[in-house]
Structure 1
Amino acid sequence: MTALTSGLEITKLAHEMHVDEAELAFLATTSPDNLRDLRGIVSHAMFSRHESRVKGLAAVSKKLPAAVTAKITEIAMGPMLSARVAAVMDPTDAAKLAGHLKPHFLAELSVHLDPSRVEGIIAKLDSALVVEVGRRLLGAGHLLTLARFTGVVPPETSLEVVDGASGAEILQLALFIDEPSVVDPILAGLSDETVAEIAAATAEHGEAADALLAALHEDSRARIASLT
């Protein structure tokens, strides 16, 4: 189980570093906990690298009307830099700005965000916008990014996002979620048909799926077993 769980952590680390997973193959024997710690260190280092410059941009944006800042953000800054700036903005100002950004740009920006740094912003966003951005991420196959945000939005929001998703997609999403307890309330809100699809898809993920199932609440495990 450890090797396969480490594989998932390497996928997450590669995403954080914007590199191909093959470049991190030498970490395959590293424990999942150590890889998770390394990911946190990398995330902090990448954010801190240009922190003073990013804070300067955030200060400038505060002096401009939100509509003007939004236009500059989409045309001149791009998703990656915008994500860095968002992480240091006042949550109220950032949420106001987000309301002027196009949903497709917010989805691209989300790929570069650390959800733990923008949880306050997400809490202030209109739920319909959060759901639309989430569905765009799902449609584009950004399941890892979506998994990171699943831990900082209410279960009912996650359920709206995955409405219509296949059992295989939801299982892959669950495998990428850092805290398995987040999965339980989402499973509780899914139809029996979808949960049955998830149960069927676990066979394709072997021991990684077994590890996830073992971490779920007893009620969730029992329901999956009854629908297998």
Structure 2
Amino acid sequence: MTALTSSLEITKLAHEMHVDEADLAFLAASSPDDLRELRGIVSHAMFSRHESRVKGLAAVSTKLPAPVVAKITELAMGPMLSARVAAVMDPVDAAKLAGHLKPQFLAELSVHLDPSRVKGIVAKLDQAVVVDIGRRLLAAGHVLTLARFTGVVSPEVSLQVLEGASGAEILQVAVFLDDPSVLDPILADLSDETLAAVVAATADHGEAADALLAALSAENRARIAALA
């Protein structure tokens, strides 16, 4: 199970560093805890890089009309730099700016965000916007990004994002959760049909599915056992 957890952590680390997983294969023997700690260090380092310039851009953005800043953001800054700036902006200003950005750009930007740094912004966005972004991420296959944001949005929002998703897609999001406990209220409100599809998908995910099931509440495990 440790090897499996380490593999998942390497996937998350590769996503954080924007490199291919194969480039980090040498870390396979590392413990999950060490890899998780390394991911935190890398995240902090990448966020801190050019931090003064990023804060300068954030400060300038407050002096211009939001529609103008939005146009500059989409045409000149791109998703990655925009994500860095968003992380240091006042949540109210950032949410106001988000209202002028195209939904597809917001989805692309989200891939580069650290959800723990933008909780305040997400909380101020219209729920329909958050759901739309989540569905765009799901459609593009960004299940790891969705898993990271599942920890900072409400179960209601997560359920709306996953509405219509296949059992395999829901399971893929679930196995990448840093805290599997956030899955309990989501599974509790899934229909029997959808949950049965998730259970069926576990056959293709072996130990990852077993580890996930072990972390669920007794109530959810009992329901899954009944469906299985």
1:49 corresponds to 2:40 = no
Question: Percent of counterpart pairs with the same letter?
Answer: 82
Aligned partners of 1:121 and 1:208: how far apart in 2?
32
Give, as a single letter, the amino acid of the residue that structure 2 aligns with 1:150.
T
* Residue equivalent to 1:32: 32
1:205 corresponds to 2:223 = no
Give, as a single letter, the amino acid of the residue that structure 2 aligns with 1:179.
D
User: What is the Cα deviation at residue 158 of structure 1?
Assistant: 0.3
* Residue equivalent to 1:129: 129
* Residue equivalent to 2:103: 103
Q: How big is each residue's C-alpha offset from its partner over 1:4-32, in whole Å with a ceiling of 9 and x where there is no partner?
A: 11111100000000000001111111111
TM-score normalised by structure 1 residue count: 0.99
Gaps of 5+ in 2: none
Q: How big is each residue's C-alpha offset from its partner over 1:27-86, in whole Å with a ceiling of 9 and x where there is no partner?
A: 111111111111010000000011000000000000001111001000000000000000
RMSD: 0.5
1:196 partner SS: helix
Aligned partners of 1:79 and 1:206: how far apart in 2?
35
1:216 corresponds to 2:216 = yes
Give, as a single letter, the amino acid of the residue that structure 2 aligns with 1:147.
A
* Residue equivalent to 1:189: 189
Give, as a single letter, the amino acid of the residue that structure 2 aligns with 1:132.
D
* Residue equivalent to 1:180: 180
Q: How big is each residue's C-alpha offset from its partner over 1:128-173, in whole Å with a ceiling of 9 and x where there is no partner?
A: 0000000000000000011100100000000000000000100010
* Residue equivalent to 1:144: 144
Aligned partners of 1:203 and 1:140: how far apart in 2?
24
User: What is the Cα deviation at residue 179 of structure 1?
Assistant: 0.2
Gaps of 5+ in 1: none
Q: How big is each residue's C-alpha offset from its partner over 1:201-220, in whole Å with a ceiling of 9 and x where there is no partner?
A: 11111111111110111111
Query: Which of structure 1's runs of 4+ aligned residues deviate more than 4 A?
Result: none
1:122 partner SS: helix
Give, as a single letter, the amino acid of the residue that structure 2 aligns with 1:92.
V
Q: How big is each residue's C-alpha offset from its partner over 1:78-124, in whole Å with a ceiling of 9 and x where there is no partner?
A: 00000000000000000000010000000000000000000000000
TM-score normalised by structure 2 residue count: 0.99
Aligned partners of 1:168 and 1:124: how far apart in 2?
31
2:205 partner SS: helix
Aligned partners of 1:112 and 1:26: how far apart in 2?
24
Aligned partners of 1:165 and 1:118: how far apart in 2?
25
* Residue equivalent to 1:159: 159
Give, as a single letter, the amino acid of the residue that structure 1 aligns with 2:30.
T
2:144 partner SS: helix
Give, as a single letter, the amino acid of the residue that structure 2 aligns with 1:115.
P
Give, as a single letter, the amino acid of the residue that structure 2 aligns with 1:157.
V
Please identify, of 31-40 and 87-96, the stretch whose mean Cα deviation from structure 2 is larger. 31-40
Give, as a single letter, the amino acid of the residue that structure 2 aligns with 1:7.
S
